[in-house]
Structure 1
């Protein structure tokens, strides 16, 4: 048993050292130092996440499409969010699991790396922007409930907003497959990275940082509006109770 273990360790060490000494050759494929069975077990565990993501969002999509009672503006926004998250579960998460199983290495080529990165940016941006629109929808439902109820089934407006969101998301992600990711000459061919820091920072600010601050601001406004409504309802209830207390006092005095 010890002899077999020592032999396997020696074999892995020789593979890694041969790859390091011949690092100038692109034909050198890195070998995994982590035992295959450990990576397979952890890969199966991490595969549960995209599976649940796909199944859960598919159920939401089917429910909204099948039941006409769910054809409202807010439910169509949730439908759009489920579509974006479903695409993440189909085209982004499996590749992340693949990289994990391969010990952090990427063997699918630079083009597939760019497509994977662009898919991640497009789907994640669409998901975040839809959450931003949902926050505005909730704010309008709280602050203008009557007008909101009259327009709660205006699905055409929601479809137009969804189209705009996906155009913005694809526009932000498309440069990643159009030559923005310029790899240096000494780049590791078995590593999927984005080498344009200016584009990475700017796209992160546009697609993540700014929407997050907007969502935070809108939900703070919702909390303030709910507190104001609660105070107003207490004042109204107090104004209704005061005459009743006076009438009761008068009757008891008589």
Structure 2
């Protein structure tokens, strides 16, 4: 069971379980049950940070798995990814997932009445990551969106499109000879079956 693919699947499962534990319950509470942040000032930056980290873990792990499959199918003669290199890749995934959203930890806190004309319930406090500079906040939001979604999507589309092309469309070397051999074998079987009749 200790294969490279299973290590990647384990890491993906850890990210998905963490997402289920740290994203769904808190998001459900503040979106459905109460319209304010009831979990205190410590949990605000922690939950905001971990929600981004778990999404990064899943996205980066899927990218690493797609590269592993891509190399195995497109370049079958290259050495396969060893367990040690797979664990190193997973460590890099964790480092990137933990490092990229650090500004969220720094800027997230519970803001009391952050927007005018909000309800009395919302005025109790909202967990937000607000930058002093609006341009900086927009740049950070776009960067997170690109790193979290756009770039992994492009990589996955490229690798799996190439894999699909190689598997289903491209004619593999030796296929013509195989078909020729199958035709010869079929004609020999017909000759043998006809000769047995006489």
TM-score bracket for the superposition, by shorter chain length: 0.7 to 0.9
Whether 1:190 and 2:118 are equivalent positions in the alignment is: no
Question: 1:15-164 to 2 correspondence within 5 Å?
Answer: 70-145=1-76, 147=78, 151=80, 154-164=82-92
1:175 aligns with 2:116: no
8 A Cα contact 1:132 1:211, kept in partner = yes
Output the TM-score relative to the length of structure 2: 0.75
Report the CA distance between 1:104 and its aligned residue: 3.0
The residue aligned with 1:215 is: 156
Contact 1:111–1:177 at 8 Å: present in 2 too?
A: no
User: Is the contact made by 1:73 and 1:155 (CA closer than 8 Å) also made in structure 2?
Assistant: yes
CA RMSD of aligned residues (A): 3.2
Distance 1:102 1:142 in 2: 49
In structure 2, relative to structure 1, the CA distance for the partners of 1:248 and 1:184 (3 Å cut) is: same
* TM-score, normalised by the number of residues in structure 1: 0.60
- Gap runs ≥5 in structure 2: 116-122, 131-136
- Which residue of the partner structure matches residue 58 of structure 1? none
Aligned-partner Cα distance in 2 for 1:247–1:108: 78
3-state SS of the aligned residue for 2:100?
helix
Deviation at residue 114 of structure 1 after TM alignment? 2.1
- Report the Cα offset of residue 235 of structure 1: 2.4
What are structure 1's unaligned runs of at least 5 residues? 1-69
CA deviation map 1:136-192 (0-9, x unaligned): 1222232344656xx46x211111111111111111121111237796984455223
Distance 2:138 2:39 in 1: 23
CA contact (8 A) 1:115 1:176 kept: no
